[in-house]
Copies of this chain bind each other. A is one copy, B any other.
Amino acid sequence: MLVYTQSVDRALQKLTACGIRPTAQRVQIAALLLSADQHLSAEQILASLGARGMHVSKATVYNTLNLFAASGLIRQLSIDGERTWFDSNTAAHYHFHDVDGGELIDVPVPDVEFSRLPTIPDGMELAGIDLVIRVRRKQAEAA
């Protein structure tokens, strides 16, 4: 339980550092998300908490995830229109998306280089770059 205790402690610190009141539910959700670089849906988080015997209501899960995203503690991803994904890795990075399995894999920033980017429209400024590289299982070639 050492690892778990550590991630609860770290979660508590992070929430406090962001000026978010560290309620029991928020600490649990933060501990779960921040235990690794991962992509989770609200439903998955609800289920994980439930599996660990911690009941948190659906409304609170959503409210909390939105709060965390607004505070920059996590990042929201629009990958497939099915649902929102919450990414615990807030450092700049990109994604592979397995269109068959739905899986998301991080792509580190240094693995992508832009030698040319479009001019930002007048009166606008850059807010971020989302790059999703869709991949699929390779078809077996005819022998």
Contact = CB atoms under 8 A, between A and B. Distances in A.
Interface of A: 76, 78-81, 83-84, 94, 96, 98-99, 105, 107-108, 111-121, 123-139
Nearest to A132: B130
Number of copies: 2
Contacts of A124: 96, 98, 135-138
Max chain B Cβ within 10 angstroms of own Cβ: one of A83, A118, A120:
A118
A134 B123 contact: no
Given A125-B136, A134-B130, A96 B112 contact: no
A115 to B, nearest CB: 4
Contacts of A133: 117-118, 120, 126, 128-130
B134 A121 contact: no
